[in-house]
Structure 1
Amino acid sequence: MKKLLSIALLTLVLISCSNGQTASSLSAPKFSAKLKELPDAPILDVRTPEEFSNGHLEYALNYDWNGAEFEQQIGSLDKSKPVFVYCLSGGRSSQAASNMRAEGFKEVYELEGGLMQWRSQNLPETTSNEVLPKGMSKQDFEALTNSDELVLIDFYADWCVPCKKMEPYLNEIANDLKSTVTVIRINVDENQELCKELGISSIPVLQVYKNKKITWTTTGFIEKEEVLQHLK
């Protein structure tokens, strides 16, 4: 039901200001500054519990946008007071914020670009045990790209819809061109520090390397035929 309402909810955002609502998407630095300005406002992380456990903003509450309890959870909040919302790259938080405004929330602030932009600005986050998973190191990454053959890197996430659409043809490329191309898929949730070091701030991202040098990169959904053009 939530997905069917998404388009209507996004339309409501455009008229929200005329209804006394604050519709605001803030860059990571401005979002951080606004958090300090409104220290008592709830911070909603609308990712899955698994994503949340891998790293989140301090004092954030995990209200999974795709979870069965989301509506009940936001129902406990004061709609007249400010609320902060974020996810990994901004898509789910935009839908959640639109839903909340439609439900009568007056002041909802979204983190533009989500945690990926937050991390690219080296802003702080935490986990339940205060230690962020490091995953693959940059040295490990450079070793993988140090090859005479072409190396196709795919930065993805399990929840990313465009990533899922591209996965089948990337598997085909890995099989059909295995004598000349090595395909490596890197989960951004499991490799947060690496993505920060490499400047990966959105997904999906494809990169082609040869002898450690990047020869091509693209962001967002792309068809198989265009990828193949860069693997010749």
Structure 2
Amino acid sequence: MKYIITIAGLFCSLMTFGQTKIANTEALQKINNEDVQLVDVRTDEEYSKKHLKNSIHINWNDKENFDALASKLDKKKPVYVYCLSGGRSNKAAQYLSEKGFEVFDIEGGIMKWEASNLPLVSANEKTTGINLDAYESLTKSHPKVLVNFYAEWCAPCKELAPIIDKIAQKQADNLKVIKIDADENKDLLKQLGISGIPQLYIFKDGQKTWSKSGLTTLKTLEKKLK
């Protein structure tokens, strides 16, 4: 869908340092009705607790990774950014503007969004666990991601756990390991078609490159992660 900035929209927004400040109510209308890219620049922990629906997670504090993931955004589409209260999103918006993106910084961040009673995705609700949007964002949150679905009662999961911990330690500089409790995320498992655990996935640059149901070896994991 072609993006058109209306005159009214311009008057409602404030230009600062090459990017546009936009009120949260106006931003909500735009991200619901236009073809845009919504970027959450907070930390992994913050994002996992609550975030805006359909947002892409790119951690501003991880500068090297931010640069790599931001470069994959589409310059033909506007980018809407937000953080907790506006500090990090302002810096990220300035950075993306300098890279040639059309950027809108959502005023007040998620704190003002929540105070305005606007819709949020809560990823840690025990009834449903992490949702599919949050899961997909996490798989794209690092150039190389290993996802491990497990459960506390699962004997093979316990046998696999030391291998996962060892690979995480050995490849700490270039690998993100995400552990997802199957009992707390039954809806997600159903959506992904997972019928048994442990279940492993490897993602490279957001694309799934390998999956494994059941046990595997350290040697196999190392080979698949190369």
Scaled by the length of structure 1, the TM-score of the pair is: 0.45
Query: If the length of structure 2 is used for normalisation, what is the TM-score?
Result: 0.46
